[in-house]
Structure 1
Amino acid sequence: MSFSFFSRQPHLPVLIGCVLIISLLGAACGGRSEPRVNAAGDDANGNTRRGAGGDGVAEAPPVTVTTATAVAREVPSYIQSSGSLIADETSDVASQISGQVVATPVGVGAFVRQGTVIARLNDKDARLRLRQAQSGVQQAIAGVRQAEARLGLRPNGKFDASTIPEVRVVSANYDQAVAELRLAEANERRYRELVETGDVSLVVYDQYRTQRDTARARAASARQQLDVAINTARQSNQAIQSAEAAVESARSQVAIAQKAVADAVIRAPYAGYISNRPIAVGEYVTPAGIVATVLRTNPIKLQLQVPEAEIPFINNGMGISLEVEAYRDKKFAGQVTAVNPAIDPVSRAATVEAALENGDNALRSGMFATARIVRQGGNKAVFVSRSAVLGDQNTQSYRVFVIKDGIAKLRVVQIGQDEGEMIQILSGVEADEVVATSNLEQLYEGARVKQ
């Protein structure tokens, strides 16, 4: 018995070891389970399980998508720059005279037409000076009529010395003296001949010779009197001209006074909007002060800073489009009107001006704008359907899935301008590549797809 007992003892550890091994294998087999796989092919630990050749036990089903081909189009070439909108004209309206403000019919923001009253000044003094000047005109006209009456002229009559009464009387006396002279000269000649023939005595001839000399003296005196009368008439006519000059001077004073009255009313120089009106009723203004600022905003002007390398491609009349923050979904069109010939040595840019229609005053002076100027010629650009672009709000990026051999390839792209249902791809997709246009949310890098 003792032999048999000791002969069995070596088998006991072996049996115990076998039991332990069997227990451990059972625990290992009972605790193992297959990880769950979602529709995208990822297990609970985030590991991707694709295809029968991988480590997973299940394969994700293909995603059904529609596709479209990226196309290349000819698009215009642009010069893009930013700048500010300014009024086409800005006028700081001032008064031409000094005075107290009595009325301000318009305020800031009001639209005014050319000639609209902006402010009124006290014009009592100006009106009194106007009446005084008008009285001076009447007085000067009376002086002209008085001078004309002295010469016997009718109002606004033409001067002729021979028609003046005083001149006519003296002229008649002169004509009589000349006639008497001619008679005396004829008698003197006749009696001189008679003396030579001895028919008349020398004493008788001396009488007729004396009459001739006396007639000559009278005629000379009458001529002098006529010349004096004519000179006097001419001097009187000069007095008329002086009086008429006085009338013109008085009328000039009236015009000055009328202008002073008109200057008391301050008007808009052109149609526009009031952007500033620093005066109020009761204030005293001078020509050095500003009554109001008027902006002409139609057309409105855009000033851009364009790099010097782009300046040779810009000419007057080229089209321009711009966008402003206030109207993000609207574009405004205009034309280049001026290119500054000088380059700023600091920024190495030149100022380009453009004019835009602004009838509704949607664009305001001071707005910041981004503009594009259409260059001659164009470039090739890639376009895809809008539905092919997936936006990520978290990263502010855009994605496109390119389909190759039934597999989706994720591309991060940069987008450009819209053209209807198509959108420009600046980078990330080449022309003629096939892109997915539906079920983009279900796609991922390497996903199998079917069409």
Structure 2
Amino acid sequence: MVRPSGALALLALLVCAGCKGRPSGTEEGDKPDVVVLVRTARVERQTVRELVEAAGTVVPSLGTEAQVAAQVAGTVVAVLKDEGQEVATGEPVLEIDASVLREEARQAEAEVRRAEADERLTREKLERAKSLFARGIAAAKDVAEAEATHTGALQALGRARAGDQVAQIHERRSVVRSPVQGTVLHRLVAPGQYVQPDTILFSVAPMAHLDLSATVPASELARLRVGQEAEIDCPGPDAASPRGEVKLLAPVLDPASGTATVRVTITNEARTLRPGMFCRARIVADRHDSTLAVPVSAVTFKEAEQKGTVAVVDGGVASVKEVTTGIREGNRVEILDGLEEGDRVVSEGSYGLADGTKLRFQ
């Protein structure tokens, strides 16, 4: 027979044996705490810009390209400038055979001399007729006829002088001169070619300022204004990143592509840009200086674009807060409300992070 005291001791041993399978303080069904590995970033004041992307071709500035045309007919005898060369205003760029024009000018000068001689002769006759009429020797009819003859001679002299001026101008125009200072973009003729008046010979444009003729989606047009700054990126071995300014917004859209044309003027003092180059522009549609910003990856955006949540580090655990966002630039987003400068937020690993989750930092 087992004594009562021995039975109690045996029962205690059995209870203790049953407790060895569970850690002290852990009840059956409990799970260990989850710790998430994350990266973090500080909420800082930065400059955030809203950019509109555009792409297009470099062209001469609006209204600066000059088409140099022949003003007289003839055979090209000399081409004095070629593509890529600089020209000054009034500098000769081409010569047209002037032999016929010189002969016409010589004949016009001779015609002026004949007309001047006729005018002198008729003037002398008129003066003599007036003198004879005053002495009662000539009739009034003789004076009238002399006046008419002299008037005709004066008119003929005027026509001869006008013809001489035209002939001299035509002779001078056999030497074609650039109307503007700039660079020869295109040469369209060669020596020996016969040209007519208005035949285009060259195109010349200044290179110190050029335009980027770019297109943007119609949906972006409302954000653009004349005068906005732009950053230009032109890929290639002579890559350049000059700055520009929006000069013109097209008043109509292209219905086929749903795009609009934007003209951005570019300062090209270094002559690194050339018409025909393909470039991209980042137009600064808006700019907020000294504004709170975080990495875009730190924000879990809601359906409304300006709302989201951010996991703030609070004593080693995640504290999920709602935020109101503003403009974005690259991987940065402006925070309008919900965070304070200096807050530490989860920048990587925040998706699906629950409030109160323990964190471990990389």
Matched-pair contact (CA < 8 Å) for 2:246–2:262:
yes
Matched-pair contact (CA < 8 Å) for 1:332–1:356:
yes
Bigger drift between 129-138 and 318-327 goes to 318-327
Mapped pair 1:119 → 2:94: yes
Q: 2:273 maps to which residue?
A: 363
Mapped pair 1:78 → 2:35: no
Deviation, structure 1 residue 328: 8.6
Aligned mates of 1:328, 1:435 — CA distance in 2: 41
Distance 1:243 1:383, change over 3 A: farther
Within-5 A mapping of 1:187-206: none
Q: 1:382 maps to which residue?
A: 293
Bigger drift between 276-285 and 265-274 goes to 276-285
Distance 1:403 1:242, change over 3 A: same
Mapped pair 1:433 → 2:344: yes
Within-5 A mapping of 1:62-73: 69-73=42-46
Distance 1:327 1:376, change over 3 A: farther
Q: 2:219 maps to which residue?
A: 309
RMSD over aligned CA atoms reads 3.6
SS of 1:279's equivalent in the other structure is: coil
Deviation, structure 1 residue 350: 1.7
SS of 2:115's equivalent in the other structure is: helix
Q: 2:283 maps to which residue?
A: 373
Deviation, structure 1 residue 256: 1.8
SS of 2:49's equivalent in the other structure is: strand
1:151 to 126, 136, 147: 126
Cα deviation 1:368-415 (Å, max 9, x = unaligned): 22212233564956368xxxxxxxxxxxxxxxxx988679xxxxxxx9
Deviation, structure 1 residue 133: 0.3
Q: 2:353 maps to which residue?
A: none
Aligned mates of 1:280, 1:330 — CA distance in 2: 34
Bigger drift between 297-306 and 115-124 goes to 297-306
Q: Which residue identity is paired with 2:332? A: I
Q: Which runs of 5+ in 2 are unaligned?
A: 1-31, 33-38, 296-311, 318-327, 348-358
Aligned mates of 1:328, 1:127 — CA distance in 2: 49
Deviation, structure 1 residue 288: 6.1
Matched-pair contact (CA < 8 Å) for 2:48–2:333:
no
1:102 to 73, 77, 89: 77
Q: 1:169 maps to which residue?
A: 135
Distance 1:367 1:284, change over 3 A: same
Cα deviation 1:168-217 (Å, max 9, x = unaligned): 122xx9xxxxxxxxxxxxxxxxxxxxxxxxxxxxxxxxxxxxxxxxxxxx
Tell me the TM-score normalised to structure 1 length. Answer: 0.54
Aligned mates of 1:71, 1:287 — CA distance in 2: 68
SS of 1:309's equivalent in the other structure is: helix
Deviation, structure 1 residue 111: 1.0
Q: 2:150 maps to which residue?
A: 240
Within-5 A mapping of 1:281-292: 281-287=191-197, 289-292=199-202
- Which structure has greater helix proportion? 1
Deviation, structure 1 residue 344: 1.3
Cα deviation 1:232-253 (Å, max 9, x = unaligned): 3233222222111111111111
- Structure 1 vs Structure 2: percent identity of aligned residues? 26
Q: Which residue identity is paired with 1:69? A: R
Bigger drift between 104-113 and 271-280 goes to 271-280
Q: Which residue identity is paired with 1:121? A: I
Matched-pair contact (CA < 8 Å) for 1:324–1:367:
yes
Aligned mates of 1:344, 1:91 — CA distance in 2: 27
Q: 1:261 maps to which residue?
A: 171
Matched-pair contact (CA < 8 Å) for 2:48–2:332:
no
Matched-pair contact (CA < 8 Å) for 1:275–1:295:
yes
SS of 2:116's equivalent in the other structure is: helix
Distance 1:294 1:77, change over 3 A: same
Matched-pair contact (CA < 8 Å) for 1:85–1:301:
yes
Distance 1:71 1:448, change over 3 A: closer
Q: Which runs of 5+ in 1 are unaligned?
A: 1-52, 54-64, 154-160, 174-224, 385-401, 408-414, 418-423, 437-445
Matched-pair contact (CA < 8 Å) for 1:381–1:425:
no
Aligned mates of 1:94, 1:253 — CA distance in 2: 23
- Which structure has greater strand proportion? 2
